[in-house]
């Protein structure tokens, strides 16, 4: 069931989203070649807790037999890793890597969710373009995140824009509603037909997140039960924000 948030609930949720934005601000300042993904994770957890929030992804259980609860504050996915890369003391970030980070903060009983792909040092023009297109896909999609439009209008625009740029979207994973739960209805694919799905209403809070692959859309899951990689080894990028549907333009809650 899709939840419509009250004014008070929205104010509380904005606090959680601000924590996420401030966490990314700190990560952007600190990320550099030679760091481990574990070090990034420690920075993020310390930042969140200092702001009175809890890392919501840490201990998250998807309820699939054999898949352990997620062990970290961040998902850190490098180059051909699409999403859900587990931070490690053995995984070193190198010059030219593109590093996708996804995290969720829980504060006052509400969640804020966002993802960013960082370019570390100098990288190829092709990698830079992928990151730019992925970010723009989000902004293309939210042009339709207004009352009267449907979820399918957002999904369709994201998919068509990505396709027009010569890239693929991930089909097995999608955006989602968000609030007291990290994942709420509705699901928000990054492709689909316009005019389909529920109508958007003021008070809905949504996490919209294009996941874009440079090559073919096929993906694989690693043995850790979490990390998703591209099947053909091509680069992937991820960009996400939590937004609020208002009477007019959508409000992006996870950008300062």
pLDDT digits (tens, 9 = 90+) for 134-156: 999 999 999 999 999 999 999 99
Averaged over 227-245, what is the pLDDT? 98
How many Cα atoms are found within 13 Å in the side-chain-facing hemisphere of 45? Answer: 16
- Which tokens sit at 62? 């998807």
Calculate what percentage of the chain has a pLDDT beyond 70: 100
Task: Note the pLDDT of residue 95.
Answer: 98
Q: Report the chain's mean pLDDT, rounded to a whole number.
A: 97
Averaged over 9-28, what is the pLDDT? 98
For residues 24 and 47, give the distance between their C-alpha atoms in angstroms, rounded to a whole number.
10
Task: Note the pLDDT of residue 33.
Answer: 98
Query: Phi/psi of residue 34, each to 5°?
Result: 95, -20
pTM: 0.97
Task: Note the pLDDT of residue 243.
Answer: 98
Task: Note the pLDDT of residue 182.
Answer: 98
pLDDT band with cut points at 50, 70 and 90 for residue 14:
very high
Given the structure tokens 């209403």, which residue do they identify?
201
DSSP 3-state of 90: coil
How many Cα atoms are found within 13 Å in the side-chain-facing hemisphere of 68? Answer: 8
Averaged over 60-82, what is the pLDDT? 95
The fold adopted by the segment(s) 7-249 is Creatine Amidinohydrolase (3.90.230)
Task: Note the pLDDT of residue 190.
Answer: 98
Averaged over 180-199, what is the pLDDT? 97
For residues 131 and 116, give the distance between their C-alpha atoms in angstroms, rounded to a whole number.
9
């Amino acid at each position: 069931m899709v939840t419509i948030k009250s004014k008070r609930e929205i104010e509380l949720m904005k606090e959680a989203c601000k924590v996420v934005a401030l966490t990314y601000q700190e990560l952007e300042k600190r990320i550099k070649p030679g760091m481990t993904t574990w070090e990034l994770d420690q920075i993020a957890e310390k930042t969140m807790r200092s702001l009175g929030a809890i890392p919501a992804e840490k201990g998250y259980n998807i309820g699939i037999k054999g898949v352990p609860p997620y062990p970290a504050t961040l998902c850190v996915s490098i180059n051909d890793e699409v999403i859900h890369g587990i931070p490690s003391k053995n995984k070193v970030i190198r010059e030219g890597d593109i590093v996708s980070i996804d995290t969720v903060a829980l504060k006052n009983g509400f969640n804020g969710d966002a993802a960013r792909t960082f370019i570390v040092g100098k990288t190829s023009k092709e990698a830079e373009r992928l990151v730019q297109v992925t970010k723009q896909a989000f902004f293309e999609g939210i042009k339709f995140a207004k009352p009267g439009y449907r979820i399918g209008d957002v999904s369709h625009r994201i998919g068509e824009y990505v396709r027009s740029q010569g890239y693929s979207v991930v089909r097995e994973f999608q955006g989602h509603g968000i609030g007291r739960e990290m994942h709420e209805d509705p699901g928000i694919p990054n492709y689909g037909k316009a005019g389909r799905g529920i109508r958007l209403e003021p008070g809905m809070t949504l996490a919209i997140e294009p996941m874009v692959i440079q090559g073919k859309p096929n993906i694989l899951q690693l043995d850790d039960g979490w990390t998703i990689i591209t099947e053909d080894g091509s680069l992937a990028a991820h960009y996400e924000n939590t937004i609020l549907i208002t009477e007019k333009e959508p409000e992006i809650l996870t950008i300062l």
